[in-house]
Amino acid sequence: MPTTKTPLLNLVAQYQSIQPEINAAIQRVLDSGHFILGDEVASLENEVAEYLGAAHGIGVASGTDALILALRALEIGPGDEVIIPAYTFFATAGAVLHVGARPVLVDIDPHTYCIDVEKMQAAISPVTKAVIPVHLYGHPAEMDAINAIAEEHGLKVIEDNAQAFGAEYKGRKTGALGDVGCLSFFPSKNLGGYGDGGMLVTDDPALADKLRMLRTHGWQRKYFPEILGYNSRLDALQGAILRVKLPHLDAWNDRRRELAATYHERLSGLAGLTTPYEAPDTRHVYHLYVLQLSQRDQLKGALKAAGIATGVYYPQPLHLTRPCHDLDYQEGAFPITEKASRETLAIPIYPEMTSAQVEMVAKTIKEVAV
Ligand SMILES: *Cc1c(COP(=O)(O)O)cnc(C)c1O
């Protein structure tokens, strides 16, 4: 087995680039003796909300919990339908299943990998309550069209912004474009903590209050629960760490875009291989840099032999996952999604990647791509 010389991402290199600031932030929390929510998390909530252009931020235990709490706060449950793309990380569907609602899957746009808006409109039924657009890989979904359709049909818009922190749609940050936005601070995300974490952002003060209750056992006044809530809170260490990282995010995303531009220059035009698309009026933040080609598994193997890590996001479309079996979708139901799951391949991209590394990966792909 060859050792991997070029990883998909390198969290140690990022830590080393900001080590003194991170260590000081961790020490500050240890010295404070305050480990759950508190000032660090409240400050992060304000800083994230301001960065995204939203009024309120509510720190929670993970991006998955953010989705579940958003659905609960909007009172979506049994008997309700929620439209989601068939091609996304499982958590988008899992959250809908957890609240007892039915995920109604919709195929994706073949260029952006985000929900196909016409098919979304066609999937609306009298019991549809919400839609969850996912800004997959860091590319914004078509939010103007989605919001317009949602408004016309009285649907709530919950953005799954887990992969797109810092992305922009028509000059505005994704995550702050719908009724509520869900963020993940999973370590590999563009803004990642050193453990699990997530946040919700919204402009609606009543929704923000309800989300704050839901994350702490459904109470406002301690020990007097008013609704059935959860224990889903962001911890102070993550808050402090993320506060160090947030001011670096734009530079990190700029660097991701630079690396993506190099890949694009070197790889676009190779026969049989599609490089990522960036729609006009959007700022893609390349959480992942994803190629599409029919010989995906061959390329994956050849790159592995050359010491270059790759990933498949995602090898199984949602409708073919076991927890979705009861939804009764058949293979063939979502052809664009199914093709993407067979043909997409993520190659290394992370802000600390050097120009020499990106050139080497591109050169290797050109040599081995069939
Ligand atoms: C990572 C991710 C989530 C879940 O976030 P966690 O913090 O890992 O729970 C949800 N949706 C998408 C699209 C993701 O990529």
Query: pLDDT digit string (tens) for 31-73?
Result: 999 999 999 999 999 999 999 999 999 999 999 999 999 999 9
Tell how far the Cα of 33 is from the centroid of ligand 1, in angstroms: 29
Tell how far the Cα of 160 is from the centroid of ligand 1, in angstroms: 8
Tell how far the Cα of 89 is from the centroid of ligand 1, in angstroms: 7
Give the residues of the chain that fall short of pLDDT 50.
1
The segment(s) of the chain belonging to CATH 3.90.1150.10 are 248-368
Tell how far the Cα of 112 is from the centroid of ligand 1, in angstroms: 18
Q: Does any ligand 1 atom lie closer than 6 A to the CB of residue 179?
A: no
Q: Does any ligand 1 atom lie closer than 6 A to the CB of residue 235?
A: no
The segment(s) of the chain belonging to CATH 3.40.640.10 are 12-247
- State residue 187's pLDDT score: 98
- State residue 163's pLDDT score: 98
What class, spelled out in words, does domain 12-247 have in CATH?
alpha beta
Q: Does any ligand 1 atom lie closer than 6 A to the CB of residue 163?
A: yes
CATH code for the domain defined by 248-368: 3.90.1150.10
Q: Does any ligand 1 atom lie closer than 6 A to the CB of residue 190?
A: no
Neighbours of 205 (CB within 10 A): 10
Tell how far the Cα of 133 is from the centroid of ligand 1, in angstroms: 13
From first CA to last CA, the distance across the chain in angstroms is 23
Q: Does any ligand 1 atom lie closer than 6 A to the CB of residue 361?
A: no
Tell how far the Cα of 25 is from the centroid of ligand 1, in angstroms: 25
Tell how far the Cα of 177 is from the centroid of ligand 1, in angstroms: 18
Nearest atom (ligand 1) to Cα of 186: 7
Tell me the per-residue pLDDT of 343-354, one tens digit each, with 9 for 90 and over.
Answer: 999 999 999 999
Q: Does any ligand 1 atom lie closer than 6 A to the CB of residue 338?
A: no
Nearest atom (ligand 1) to Cα of 163: 15
Q: Does any ligand 1 atom lie closer than 6 A to the CB of residue 186?
A: yes
3-state secondary structure the chain: CCCCCECCCCHHHHHHHCHHHHHHHHHHHHHHCCCECHHHHHHHHHHHHHHHCCCEEEEECCHHHHHHHHHHHCCCCCCCEEEEECCCCHHHHHHHHHCCCEEEEECECCCCCCECHHHHHHCCCCCEEEECCECHHHCCCCHHHHHHHHHHHCCEEEEECCCCCCCEECCEECCCCCCEEEEECCCCCCCCCCCCCEEEEECCHHHHHHHHHHHECCCCCCCCCCCCCCECCCEHHHHHHHHHHHHHHHHHHHHHHHHHHHHHHHHCCCCCEECCCCCCCEECCCCCEEEEECCHHHHHHHHHHCCECCECCCCCCHHHCHHHHHHCCCCCCCHHHHHHHHHEEEECCCCCCCHHHHHHHHHHHHHHCC
